[in-house]
Structure 1
């Protein structure tokens, strides 16, 4: 295996050094290859996602096929503009010169994807890496084996296998990959593993993008009208349970609401859970399953703690055989319990009550910065307070998750929720180096830039740094007094 890995990495380096991947024609052909893969193999992708995560084909298309098709088309439409050089202005002191900024590919890059969106989180960063002209290693998650096998077997048929390689395996192969030098590592996953990736990258001073997670809150400022309450609650249910059964880094982790509105919210949550997912505990065709028994047991342990179990007001039913957990609502579980200390990553929704909704700002600030913050409110003063007094990867008002799918917006975290950003042009820039190119003429050269130094040269240099360029020229020509 190590010999094969060495050979693959050597081939990737040789291909990149040949200049092949830098050609715009290569980049365009590979993006079209991705597009054909998604269009030709849509049913196979849906089937693999069903096998690994129990995703309904509508959810599979919405989250992992359609969004990536959109992103590829956006890259194809804008690639020429992204690759074009950008002129840079220079101060008068640099006259006569000109400068531009050119994006160049980083080299051989490693993309390590996650299991919860195993197709989308593999191909979305790959779009940027290809568009930027890199050679690529993709390491899919072994926890989604059907999707990992699909990517390994199909990418080589649709893309240039000498420049884009899929390497399957578990943590051992991941550790071996990290022992090698890459020119960029893009990792999506847990904070714990992210620390290991960053530590390994430091050995080679390799730049890293970490897309992690965190406990994303939803602040609910109830409610100016019953219609607003209904719509907000429906969006909360969708944002918590509708994206891979809550196994989404950008999904809602918990809700903050004033105590006087909590019972109203709970009743509406129950209503829309039943409306969207039915009323039976044994599974729903519209809701994904838990990825495996290990994660199922972890989630079970979160609500089995006696002081947490007493806070359950809806759900709490689990089927280990089908790996299905019914949408569960908890009201005011202890804040020092694991369910409030760890990222939940499952269909368990704590509702935390506050005396005043304004207290949510301090509640959020007292915890690690989330990947996303959601707030349902029409109060502009409160909105401004949340924007200015909290920090998160993104903040969205009156809806959830949609910011992820917008190609013109960057996606990424802050603090423990990760760093670096991608999507659209930001993906292209993530996998590029913006190189400065300056060209200077031999037309003029000033004698005072060179030693030996004296006070007159100091005056000229000071004048030049103040951009009094005409004064510099006059002094240098002896046409202006020393004073």
Structure 2
């Protein structure tokens, strides 16, 4: 157990590191594209050389299948690196803007400058990718960074610490390990930007702490992301894509489908197709999902108990298990589970599930869906499955979400040309590619005046000046 003395020593160490980075930030801010590219290349080279070490670490933390780690952690990170390496030179160029008629005689542009000392607080569910992705943006933008990986994934945190320690001096990039107390100590400091990925509840605490120092923030949170399936959907393809999006990483994905709203006429077909998809993905040899080398485990016993309690509560209140339902606390295993007859009074429908439980709700009319969604928190993402463009447009116009994916799941998160993030309760700010670079930058507007007519409206406000002002109001 940490003592008061230990905490004071940690705070002193954190403060010392912060001050060193604040001093170094002035030098780092002056770096140009070649120096920033060199830093990113070092990360990429290390990652490709040590890919086995990464897969081993994730397997040790929660038995994440190596192939799944390579797809969701290594490929996704390398994809972000490639885009930054290709584009950072262009991102750093002045972005010219048009000159309004009233600004005749000036030229203007936007330059992106680094914010300074940044803090990245990462979650445990994708512990490498969600630590290093924002770091890529921070370095591309010319910042220093302190990383706080999750204490729930010690093997991956060790990998990150060793990687960062071998590549960067700690006054530029450093790793601070520890629990929530360490995070609180970090949040007391006046960082220039804070990037947090995690739950909405903790996100509120981060935002409150940031407000005390007026630190800017990016909050990538979560929420209950709906999956809407209408009668025109390609049911077989829809089932495969929902099954993959929901049960990759054993459902521990912030953008996983949280529940399914399906038109009643195709509900039974969808359930049968999902069952078939689960069988193909995780039980093709007939040995059972628990024996599958393609299915991860729940991160720890506390989260297992939370998910088991959600399942028990739903069943006690009348929900029926259509698929799965088997659990093993000793193995932290919960089978891919599909629930029907769910109601709003069940805990599984009141909070983000963040696990392999998937409620399914049949609807008859669009009005039912509209009433169900109205008044609920804005989700991180909405998934729409329909073969008609008109249906997709209908829902895009009548709902709000951080992102929307039509006829697939999850793929938007690794799309480096799209802004990815939440809205209100599901997040603040965006990431990926240029949008991540933007989050860690100050967009500084610059106006350069060569000549102009604005002098003509300086005081004293004669009749001639008043006429000119009136002209400006009417015509400019």
The answer to whether TM tops 0.5 is yes
2:297 is aligned with 1:289: yes
Q: Does the CA contact (< 8 Å) of 2:260 and 2:360 recur in 1?
A: yes
- CA change 1:94–1:235 in 2 (3 A) is closer
Normalising by structure 2, what TM-score?
Answer: 0.93
In structure 2, runs of 5+ residues without a counterpart are: 1-9
Match of 1:384 in 2: 393
2:75 is aligned with 1:75: no
Match of 2:462 in 1: 454
Residues 138-161 of structure 1, C-alpha deviation per residue, up to 9 Å, x if partnerless? 110111111112111211112343
2:151 is aligned with 1:142: yes
2:242 is aligned with 1:236: yes
Q: Does the CA contact (< 8 Å) of 1:103 and 1:435 recur in 2?
A: yes
2:261 is aligned with 1:256: yes
- Displacement of 1:463 after TM fit? 1.9
Q: Please identify, of 189-198 and 5-14, the stretch whose mean Cα deviation from structure 2 is larger.
A: 5-14
Normalising by structure 1, what TM-score?
Answer: 0.92
In structure 1, runs of 5+ residues without a counterpart are: 469-483
Q: Does the CA contact (< 8 Å) of 1:183 and 1:206 recur in 2?
A: yes
Where do residues 209-248 of structure 1 align in structure 2 (5 Å cutoff)?
209-223=218-232, 228-242=234-248, 244-248=249-253
Residues 341-383 of structure 1, C-alpha deviation per residue, up to 9 Å, x if partnerless? 1100000111111123553233223321111111111122221
Q: Does the CA contact (< 8 Å) of 1:412 and 1:421 recur in 2?
A: yes
2:36 is aligned with 1:27: yes
Q: Please identify, of 43-52 and 278-287, the stretch whose mean Cα deviation from structure 2 is larger.
A: 278-287
Residues 173-209 of structure 1, C-alpha deviation per residue, up to 9 Å, x if partnerless? 0000000000000100000100000000000111111
Match of 1:366 in 2: 375
- CA change 1:446–1:86 in 2 (3 A) is closer
Match of 1:94 in 2: 103
- Displacement of 1:281 after TM fit? 5.4
- CA change 1:392–1:465 in 2 (3 A) is same
2:325 is aligned with 1:316: yes
- CA change 1:314–1:94 in 2 (3 A) is closer
Match of 2:281 in 1: 276
- CA change 1:370–1:187 in 2 (3 A) is same
Q: How large is the RMSD of aligned CA atoms in angstroms?
A: 1.7
Q: Does the CA contact (< 8 Å) of 2:103 and 2:452 recur in 1?
A: no
Distance 1:114 1:150 in 2: 15
- Displacement of 1:437 after TM fit? 1.3
Distance 1:94 1:24 in 2: 31
- CA change 1:457–1:4 in 2 (3 A) is same
Distance 1:223 1:358 in 2: 17
Distance 1:231 1:466 in 2: 57
Give SS of 2:78's match: helix
Residues 287-310 of structure 1, C-alpha deviation per residue, up to 9 Å, x if partnerless? 110010010000000111243464
- CA change 1:447–1:178 in 2 (3 A) is closer
Q: Does the CA contact (< 8 Å) of 1:233 and 1:268 recur in 2?
A: yes
Give SS of 2:290's match: coil
Match of 1:409 in 2: 418
Where do residues 25-174 of structure 1 align in structure 2 (5 Å cutoff)?
25-174=34-183
Q: Does the CA contact (< 8 Å) of 2:193 and 2:217 recur in 1?
A: yes
Residues 245-300 of structure 1, C-alpha deviation per residue, up to 9 Å, x if partnerless? 11111011111112333222222221111111115253421011001001000000
Distance 1:203 1:338 in 2: 34
